[in-house]
Structure 1
Amino acid sequence: MADPEDVMFSPAVKAEQARLGSRAMFEDRDWKTEITDDLRQFLSVVDTFFLGTASADGQPYIQHRGGPPGFLKAIGSNTLAFADFAGNRQYITLGHLKENDRAHLFILHFATRQRVKLWGRARVIEDDPALMERLVDPAYRARPQRAIAFTLDVWDVNCQQHIVPRYTEAEVAPAVDQLARRIRELEEEVARLKAGPAA
């Protein structure tokens, strides 16, 4: 496998880092090249991410992928996979991966303001029922068509700067339910007070 730093930073990027004074920050750093327990835990709550691919001549494309929390699953020490659901039928990602397997995953979890970047290679897997059974949540209402596996070269965590916290309906539901219960209790208490003492 290539040096993780060379996967992340091309010679032109390294030259810019040197020119702008940040090169020393990245030299001799212990880049992560395997899926850790921390990454697994992070992925267990992720319900959305972005997949970057490029054509053979470098034409880029970024596609949003969504599913139930934890739909991007670790299936080995350095492999992730997810079910590819029916979508807009452009098949740009599928076409790119036929001619260029380099890919990038960019994951933002707004509630915790975490940002994870993963570099690697992706491949389309069709007609593998056992894998699909591992990847598909039967309760999720979408039609899975195939799997996409991502073999990890290196990953990194970015700072939280400029990530505005946002929360899904499922994340705020417990707090809303608690408030609704408290409001009902107070309304009942107000009604009792208005009614006056029992005769």
Structure 2
Amino acid sequence: MSGPEDVMFSPAVKAEQARLGSRESFEDRDWQTEITDDLRQFLAAIDTFFFATASADGRPYVQHRGGPAGFLKPIGSHMLAFADFAGNRQYITLGHLKENDRAHIFIPHFATQQRLKLWGRARVVEDDAELMERLVDPSYKAKPQRAIAFRIEAWDINCRQHIVARYSEAEIAPAVNQLTQRIKELEEEVARLKAAP
């Protein structure tokens, strides 16, 4: 029976790690398979991720997924799900998942310079009103068409190297508001000083 390391690293990957001298650093490591409180908090903040699938013959496809913060939701100790919103109507991901349920989620969080990688198996869930109610934020103006459920087999958060810090409008709004308030206060002070005899 294979464990998380075997999900993450194929024999060819392990051979390359050995050849290039990094294999020992990955042996006997306690790879994550369950949703922890830290992972739950991380997911509550994210509003974008990349979802990778492959056809039965191994042709890969990566699709951007976006939504309101926290739209990739834990629905069990090993399960995540998200609403699949109407898009470009190519349905590549849906076709791939019909013939190959292996999938990968990659989440770069630029503000904290972290990257989360999740390996697992995914399936399309249609006509499940109860699940959709759990996944859909009614204030988000996009049309959900179905859900995609993702069973985690392994996950890892790793190095910040080469991730350039970037911030969303929501992440910088508090600082901008604080600066705007301070500018207003200073302008009022300048006006008072100019008006003073």
The verdict on a shared fold, with TM-score over 0.5 as the criterion, is yes
Q: Distance in 2 between matches of 1:178 and 1:48?
A: 26
Pair 1:118-2:113 in alignment: no
Name 1:13's counterpart in structure 2.
13
Paired residue secondary structure (1:130): helix
Paired residue secondary structure (1:181): helix
1:193 deviation in Å?
A: 1.3
Name 1:134's counterpart in structure 2.
134
Paired residue secondary structure (1:44): helix
Paired residue secondary structure (1:117): strand
Name the amino acid aligned to 1:110. Answer: F
1:45 deviation in Å?
A: 0.0
Paired residue secondary structure (2:45): coil
1:2 deviation in Å?
A: 2.4
Paired residue secondary structure (1:28): coil
Q: Distance in 2 between matches of 1:37 and 1:194?
A: 55
Q: Distance in 2 between matches of 1:63 and 1:121?
A: 16
Q: Distance in 2 between matches of 1:117 and 1:32?
A: 11
Superposition pairs for residues 5-44 of structure 1, below 5 Å? 5-44=5-44
Name 1:189's counterpart in structure 2.
189
Name the amino acid aligned to 1:51. Answer: F
After superposition, give the CA deviation of every residue in 1:147-173 in whole Å (9 maximum; x if it has no partner): 000001011111111111100000100
Name 2:48's counterpart in structure 1.
48
Query: Over aligned residue pairs, what C-alpha RMSD do you find?
Result: 0.8
After superposition, give the CA deviation of every residue in 1:66-111 in whole Å (9 maximum; x if it has no partner): 0001000000000000000011111000000000000000011110
- Paired residues, what number? 197
Uncovered stretches (5+) of structure 2, i.e. residues with no partner = none
Q: Distance in 1 between matches of 2:196 and 2:36?
A: 62
Name 1:152's counterpart in structure 2.
152
Paired residue secondary structure (1:57): coil
After superposition, give the CA deviation of every residue in 1:166-187 in whole Å (9 maximum; x if it has no partner): 0000010011011111111111
Moved over 6 A (4+): none
Name the amino acid aligned to 1:168. Answer: S
Q: Distance in 2 between matches of 1:88 and 1:182?
A: 44
Q: Distance in 1 between matches of 2:145 and 2:173?
A: 31
Paired residue secondary structure (1:16): helix
Q: Distance in 2 between matches of 1:192 and 1:31?
A: 62
1:192 deviation in Å?
A: 1.4
Q: Distance in 2 between matches of 1:135 and 1:111?
A: 24
Paired residue secondary structure (1:31): coil
1:191 deviation in Å?
A: 1.1
Q: Distance in 1 between matches of 2:70 and 2:173?
A: 19
1:41 deviation in Å?
A: 0.6
Q: Distance in 1 between matches of 2:98 and 2:139?
A: 31
1:196 deviation in Å?
A: 2.0
Q: Distance in 2 between matches of 1:184 and 1:3?
A: 58
In percent, how many aligned pairs have the same letter?
Answer: 80
Name 1:83's counterpart in structure 2.
83
Paired residue secondary structure (1:180): helix
